[in-house]
Amino acid sequence: MQPLQDSYRQRGQRRALVALLREQRGIRDERVLAALGAVPRHLFFEPAFETHAYQDKAFPIGEGQTISQPTMVAYQTELLGVQPGHQVLEIGTGSGYQFAVLCQLTTGVQSIEFNAVLYERGRQRLAALGLPTTGLHLGDGSLGLPALAPFDRILVTAGAPALPPALLRQLRIGGRLVVPVGTTDPGRQQLLRITREGPEAFVREELGDCRFVPLRGAAGWQG
């Protein structure tokens, strides 16, 4: 892993990225913008791509996976509306960047990663940054994390073929699930926000097209 340096230049690039998100990408929640401003995205990159870390683009993180585009990280985080004290579950730790952003907003963040190599890399990186790695889990996030449910907020950062039933069950009443769902093509999804208004009452909002790597596991894409 590269040394944990956050240079004057990188801090400037990060400020410029946050300004872009605010002024040109329509992100309005100042707490979300501050969270992205506080997390050094370059430290979540493979060395070969590090100089690109403050572009508004997704990049490879190894194992065929990606760190999501900053606009999407900010938009999904804004849609979640995380408040201090919320218990949040992320599916798809990947690089750990989104986890680090969520940790700026509440102390109760859990994240599950399916790929053992990425899980271990993310754990080491987040530990080096002083973030709480007790919230990291290796496993099939399409089944949620029943032992720690219910959650106020659940964020899925991979594209599901359908709404994962376990995640709906693990949502607290009043809770929100933000998830990309693409029923026919594993690489194209509609971003959904589901609000649980009662034990069996779920309100669904469709919030635009997106592209995520496929969700794997029992409620994910097979093969």
Q: Which helix (H) or strand (E) holds 22?
A: helix 8-23
- How far apart, in whole angstroms, are the C-alpha atoms of residue 24 and residue 19? 8
Closest distance between ligand SAM and the C-beta of residue 218, in Å? 8
- How far apart, in whole angstroms, are the C-alpha atoms of residue 6 and residue 53? 12
Can you tell me which of 118, 126, 171, 210 binds ligand SAM, judged by CB under 6 A?
118
Can you tell me which of 77, 95, 110, 189 binds ligand SAM, judged by CB under 6 A?
95
Structure tokens at 23: 């002024």
Binding segment toward ligand SAM, per CB under 6 A, in 24-32, 108-116, 145-153, 175-183: 108-116
Can you tell me which of 98, 104, 170, 189 binds ligand SAM, judged by CB under 6 A?
98
Q: Reply yes or no on whether 95 is catalytic.
A: no
- How far apart, in whole angstroms, are the C-alpha atoms of residue 143 and residue 151? 13
Closest distance between ligand SAM and the C-beta of residue 200, in Å? 25
Report which residue type is found at 222: Q
- How far apart, in whole angstroms, are the C-alpha atoms of residue 37 and residue 30? 10
Cβ atoms of 16 and 37 closer than 8 Å: no
- How far apart, in whole angstroms, are the C-alpha atoms of residue 97 and residue 25? 19
- How far apart, in whole angstroms, are the C-alpha atoms of residue 97 and residue 49? 15
Closest distance between ligand SAM and the C-beta of residue 48, in Å? 16
Size of the residue set binding ligand SAM (CB under 6 A)? 26
Q: Which is nearer to ligand SAM, 48 or 201 (CB)?
A: 48
Is residue 112 within the footprint of ligand SAM (CB under 6 A)? yes
Beta bridge partners of 210: 189
Which residues within the stretch 148-177 sit at the binding site for ligand SAM (CB under 6 A)?
157-158
Is residue 104 within the footprint of ligand SAM (CB under 6 A)? no
Binding segment toward ligand SAM, per CB under 6 A, in 33-41, 114-122, 171-179, 197-205: 114-122
Is residue 71 within the footprint of ligand SAM (CB under 6 A)? no
Can you tell me which of 37, 40, 70, 94 binds ligand SAM, judged by CB under 6 A?
94
Instruction: Give ∠ CA 163-81-94 in degrees, rounded to 5.
Output: 60
User: Helix (H) and strand (E) counts for the chain?
Assistant: 6, 9
Query: Could you list the residues that contact ligand SAM (CB under 6 A)?
Result: 65-68, 91-92, 94-95, 97-98, 112-115, 118, 140-142, 157-158, 212-213, 215-217, 220
Catalytic residue numbers, as ranges: 68
